[in-house]
Structure 1
Amino acid sequence: MPALASRFLVVLDADSTLIRNEVIELIADEAGRGPEVAAATEAAMRGEVDFAASLRSRVAALAGVQVSSFERVLSRIEPTPGVEELISAVHARGGVVGVVSGGFHEILDTIAPALGVDIWRANRLAVSDGVLTGAVDGAIVDAQAKADTLIEWAAHAGVPRQLTFAIGDGANDLVMMQAAALGIAFNAKPAVRAKADLVVGAVDLSEVIALLP
């Protein structure tokens, strides 16, 4: 994160927000279990199941996938329309862009800097001999962790809470959206739209630019 104090902070979810894909589904395709994992991901994003338990179960389905296959996964990633325009606008106005994800550093470490994101946090996949073990390495980035991260980053950047924005699509983004001054539902599930401060209907992140200070 930039060392100097920033004017404001925008924190986005990654999957189906920063990018159009659900990365865990792309990795699951490499294991031949894409549809199964996609159905479980959809249930988790609707808030029907505990996120951490669901993530552990879905990651277990990835056991045996070669780390080398991540190149194929990365080639399938589609940035969300308007994301680069939004990030450029935040930077032009003296803000910081963060991404906090229930997805994985293994993919986000390439995507985030390529899009101009300043700081990011995600889960890590356990690996042995170049193969996924089917476990998460370390503490899971869940709903509370996302909110805590937003608060931590704002403090580090010298941004008052009233100048924080959170953008997400799934139920695990709601706590973070409530922690921010403005919680924006983007490409979101009905439960998230119902509780957000603001709903962006178009799948175009440049729509958020008009809300920036």
Structure 2
Amino acid sequence: MPIAVLIAAEPLPAGELNAATDKLHQAGLVVGTSHWVEPGLVGEVRFTGDRAAANDALEPLRAAADVLVLDEAARDPRLLVSDMDSTMIVNECIDELADYAGVKPQVAAITERAMQGELDFEAALRERVALLEGLSEHVIADCLAQRIRPMPGARTLVRTLSRRGADCVLVSGGFHSFADVIGAELGFNAVFANRLVIEHGHLTGDLEGTIVDAARKAAILMEQSVGQGLEARQVIALGDGANDIPMLKAAGTGIAYHAKPAAIAAADAHIAHGDWTVLLHALGIARADWSD
């Protein structure tokens, strides 16, 4: 049975859950039970019918709260596959490196167009990395320490799901130099990313190995899922940009996070207001069971 979960940062009016129920009724859906998990903050409505119709019906409520409509069977994921930049961390690592190299405006403009899906990802990545030629490798450690910050709620989400038995995998179109550190800090079990070529202590402006692009992200998700013998409902993917779309579609549940329009359109649900603990609420995991 599908379930709609309303999650707000500030208390909603008492009648907001009734409003959700009414909108589902008006859309021709059969509404079951509804209740506040946390009064005014987290509410659930179970219903029978089409999830897409429910999403459309509940759209007006998204002005004040995150509303995630999921299959109840998806509330016990065994595999979580997530993007890194602007998803698990607040930054775009390549843009921050570019700032040290004095080329951030040029690189950030390319990044934005790539995230919107306007450019071929691999070509855009290689163009940006080429602009970093000559940058000292020591800048990477400085950048990690001084600029890179986890997305609010990211550590809690990953560690909570991992403790409950989910395999958590970080897949990044960024770089192992960052992703390995961030993955370990947040609690991921495995990390896939791109590798910068470094010679004599400086970036050469090149990459080595297979590029982790949109297709590779989706392929990693499928490899992990098939390898563990999982059903689609047991797999969740998280992302924010065009490069994440195939992965979001390949998962049983794709979640877009403060995302670009194309990623939102491809995902099953979208978090627009809150942090990553919104997903814990949507999965029905009580605060008392969250891990730090």
* Cα drift, residue 88 of structure 1: 2.2
List alignment gaps of at least 5 residues for structure 2. 1-75, 285-292
The letter of the residue matching 2:238 is I
* Cα drift, residue 81 of structure 1: 0.3
Matched, 1:61 2:131: yes
The letter of the residue matching 1:118 is N
* Cα drift, residue 33 of structure 1: 0.5
Higher relative contact order (CA 8 A, sep 6+): 1
Instruction: Please say if residues 143 and 175 of structure 1, whose CA atoms lie closer than 8 Å, have aligned partners that are also in contact.
Output: yes
Indicate the SS of the match to 2:88.
Answer: coil
Determine the structure 2 residue equivalent to 1:173: 244
Determine the structure 2 residue equivalent to 1:153: 224
Report 1:62-211 matches (<5 A).
Answer: 62-75=132-145, 76-211=147-282
In structure 2, C-alpha distance between the alignment counterparts of 1:89 and 1:210, rounded to whole Å: 12
Indicate the SS of the match to 2:236.
Answer: strand
Indicate the SS of the match to 2:80.
Answer: strand
The C-alpha deviation readout for 1:168-191, integer Å capped at 9, x for no partner, is 001000000011001111010011
Matched, 1:31 2:104: no
In structure 2, C-alpha distance between the alignment counterparts of 1:203 and 1:74, rounded to whole Å: 25
- When normalised by structure 2's length, the TM-score is 0.69
Matched, 1:43 2:113: yes
Indicate the SS of the match to 2:90.
Answer: coil
Instruction: Please say if residues 7 and 159 of structure 1, whose CA atoms lie closer than 8 Å, have aligned partners that are also in contact.
Output: no
- When normalised by structure 1's length, the TM-score is 0.93
Determine the structure 1 residue equivalent to 2:30: none
List alignment gaps of at least 5 residues for structure 1. 1-5
In structure 1, C-alpha distance between the alignment counterparts of 2:235 and 2:200, rounded to whole Å: 41
Report 1:6-25 matches (<5 A).
Answer: 8-25=78-95
Instruction: Please say if residues 80 and 203 of structure 1, whose CA atoms lie closer than 8 Å, have aligned partners that are also in contact.
Output: no
Indicate the SS of the match to 1:124.
Answer: strand
Give aligned pairs, total. 208
Instruction: Please say if residues 166 and 183 of structure 1, whose CA atoms lie closer than 8 Å, have aligned partners that are also in contact.
Output: yes
In structure 2, C-alpha distance between the alignment counterparts of 1:153 and 1:66, rounded to whole Å: 35
* Cα drift, residue 107 of structure 1: 1.0
In structure 2, C-alpha distance between the alignment counterparts of 1:128 and 1:88, rounded to whole Å: 36
Answer with 1 or 2: which has the greater Rg.
2
Instruction: Please say if residues 186 and 203 of structure 1, whose CA atoms lie closer than 8 Å, have aligned partners that are also in contact.
Output: no
In structure 1, C-alpha distance between the alignment counterparts of 2:209 and 2:163, rounded to whole Å: 35
Which aligned runs of 4 or more in structure 1 are off by greater than 4 angstroms?
none
Percent of residue pairs bearing the same amino acid type: 45
* Cα drift, residue 16 of structure 1: 0.2
In structure 1, C-alpha distance between the alignment counterparts of 2:246 and 2:281, rounded to whole Å: 24
